Chain A
Amino acid sequence: MANYTFNASINMTASSESGYSQSQSGAFSLNLTGINQIETGRADIAHDADYGLDPSALGATTAFTNGRAFYVRNMDDTNFLKVYDGASSGNDLVGVLEPGEWLFTIIRGTGQTILRADTATVHVEYFIFEVDSGA
């Protein structure tokens, strides 16, 4: 186990062609003590099977106990991707990502993060890590 610092900032701007525009942004840090699981990389995600970003699916032996923070970006040019908290059969969608789009969230619980494409296989970029009880 090791200690880490996670720094995040997010900005969203929504605009109308009328000229109306609104922005919000946020930035924060997490000091992570004694966490076991960090995974990052790229993967092909099929449309006919669930792909888990959970520790067991990635070969680790220790489950997330306090929750996880994760980022997923759809690298595909055409098809969209669904991101679930739990199995896709549970229909608990965290987000739906069109090509180029990404999401970031923190879910404090022991569930799995599941990716599933809709029409054909898509390529994704991701990271996921455990948050400790104090973070």
Chain B
Amino acid sequence: MATMSTSITASGSFTLTDSNGTVIFSYSPSFTTKNQTADSAVISTGEILTDGTSATTINLGRHNKDRIFTFIKNVDTDYAVAVNPDGDTIANLKPGECFFSPVHIDGAGDGSANLDLVATTAAQKVQYLLCDGLDTGISSDD
């Protein structure tokens, strides 16, 4: 039987500096997951133009909706974009901003299959990279 084995590496750098140049904090986290076949079916990436201010869906039909490593970046110039798995906002990204999280899209008995993007005012371009992760077994909704 054919299987798919995936892993991800996520790294970041975050620094807050005050007006005197004093570093308030600086973090550089990184992790790499083990190659895993369980719950792994899809790596998907692309660029999408949101449909004005109505919800624009990234279809996750073949993804493991119980946990998806999710990177999203607003690559447009005008308005913020909300990231709404199953209707709940987990990020509001102004132009140039990005976020990363292992996202739980649905719960037990919940057929939610989509990650929605909602722009304020007018259509905006968004880039994304999604990769299935291991299901933790929790049953709560997103």
Residues of A within 8 A of B (CB): 2-18, 20, 22-24, 26, 28, 38, 40, 67, 71, 73, 80, 82-83, 85, 88, 91-98, 100-109, 118, 125, 127, 129, 135
Q: Which residue of chain B has the shortest Cβ distance to A39 in the bound complex? A: B25
B contact residues around A4 at 8 Å (CB): 16-19, 24
28 interchain pairs, CB-CB under 8 A: A2-B18, A3-B19, A4-B17, A5-B16, A7-B14, A8-B12, A13-B8, A14-B6, A15-B9, A18-B4, A24-B128, A24-B129, A26-B98, A38-B16, A73-B27, A83-B101, A93-B88, A93-B90, A94-B90, A97-B102, A102-B10, A103-B99, A105-B90, A105-B101, A106-B99, A107-B89, A107-B90, A135-B94
Measured CB to CB, the closest approach of chain B to A60, in angstroms, equals: 15
Main secondary structure of the interface of A (DSSP, over half): strand
Extra 20 A-B pairs, beta carbons < 8 Å, given A4-B18, A26-B97:
A4-B19, A6-B14, A7-B13, A10-B98, A10-B99, A14-B7, A14-B43, A14-B129, A15-B8, A16-B43, A20-B43, A22-B129, A67-B92, A71-B14, A95-B101, A95-B102, A96-B136, A106-B91, A107-B89, A125-B29
Which residue in A5, A22, A38, A106 is a CB contact (below 8 Å) of B92? A106
A contact residues around B5 at 8 Å (CB): 16-17
Residues of B within 8 A of A (CB): 4-19, 24-25, 27, 29, 31, 33, 35, 43, 45, 67, 69, 71, 73, 80, 88-94, 96-104, 107, 127-131, 133-134, 136, 138, 140-142
B29 touches A80 (CB 8 A): no
B11 touches A10 (CB 8 A): yes
B contact residues around A12 at 8 Å (CB): 8-10, 69, 71, 100, 129, 131
Measured CB to CB, the closest approach of chain A to B106, in angstroms, equals: 10
B9 touches A92 (CB 8 A): no
B136 touches A93 (CB 8 A): no
